[in-house]
Structure 1
Amino acid sequence: MTVQELTQTRAAIQPRSRAEFEDFLYWEAALLDQWRLDEWFELFTTDAVYEVPTMGQGLEVQPDSALFYVADDHRRLQHRINRLKKPTAHAEWPRSTGVRMISNVRIDGVDDRGVRVVCAFATYRSKNHITDTYIGHSHYTLAEIDGQIRIRSKRIILGMNSLQPHGKISIIL
């Protein structure tokens, strides 16, 4: 991003600061860590998407032309949350514990959908004496709706060579 683009981006999102977006991401992580999935879901706009492409894919790939681990619109995301809360979700019942670490939060630009925010993450999931680690970058488009920051899109780009040894993504990253 050039200095001029950065200046235009800052002007477009005023009075929101990077710190406000960062606090919002910390709040999102806390909700997931505490398994407050319904409250987490409320952070999304009704046209939101939550996506996790397979390893080696980037931001340009689309779910209609490539394999994704997760490609949820608002409705499918609600179903995912409802399923995770049930005892029949065997991978998460009893539910695992998790900790999400977020760092290197930066504003990456602005477009007609909202402010693009990127951060690095490490998510630790622990269950049955096994801890799984997921690392990567989260790419968000955040919009202001009724004075509140909301997630319009969240795409997880995993920074791993494989899902080994755990072999699955049973939690929300």
Structure 2
Amino acid sequence: MSIVNEKMTERAIEQFLFKEADMLDAWQLEEWLQLFTEDGTYSVPTTDNPDGDSKNSLFLISDNYSRLKARVKRLSNKWAHSENPRSRTRRFITNVQIAEEADGEIKFTANFIVYRMRYGFTDAYVGKYYYTLVNQNGELKIKDRKAVLDLEALRPHSRVSIIL
């Protein structure tokens, strides 16, 4: 069955992305985790190798579902030193484009800017998302979510302690 039909339009995908962005900006990480399939992945390649493969290249983040659950648990803990106090974030999603639909999956891309405010500083993470969604029991679920940064380096950011 096709995921993209009269109900699944680019607008519906945009609404899914906006809901996800709101969850992340509100630090509703447990709810966000529920958007993933149990074999879902989340990755962020290094800025110097955006097309790399996590099997043989260094990645900033390369989480399977188990590691993603652990990341959410750590970030949700008040003792998470890298995010205590928590950063305030604001996400902007643009240019959503369906790339491919096959075998019950839909692949699409979207541009993003995530502003991170903490300790009087504002950092901007700019890049492109690559998603694979599947329909599980009538709900869209994330099978793969890759955030490719357009930054040439992580300076002045120094790290990625938030979920992009």
One fold, TM greater than 0.5? yes
Q: CA deviation at 1:62?
A: 1.6
1:57 aligns with 2:57: no
1:34 aligns with 2:29: no
1:103 aligns with 2:97: no
Contact 2:3–2:105 under 8 Å retained in 1: no
2-side partners of 1:129 and 1:58: how far apart? Answer: 30
Q: CA deviation at 1:58?
A: 3.4
Contact 2:83–2:161 under 8 Å retained in 1: yes
Percent of pairs with identical residues: 36
1:142 aligns with 2:142: no
Greater share of residues in helix = 1
> What are structure 2's unaligned runs of at least 5 residues?
none
CA RMSD of aligned residues (A): 1.3
Alignment partner of 1:65: what SS?
A: coil
Hey, which bits of structure 1, 4+ residues long, moved more than 4 A? Answer: none
> What are structure 1's unaligned runs of at least 5 residues?
1-10
TM-score by length of 1: 0.90
Alignment partner of 1:38: what SS?
A: helix
Contact 2:131–2:142 under 8 Å retained in 1: yes
Q: CA deviation at 1:88?
A: 2.4
String of CA shifts for 1:120-151, please: whole Å, max 9, x gaps: 00000111111111000000001111111111
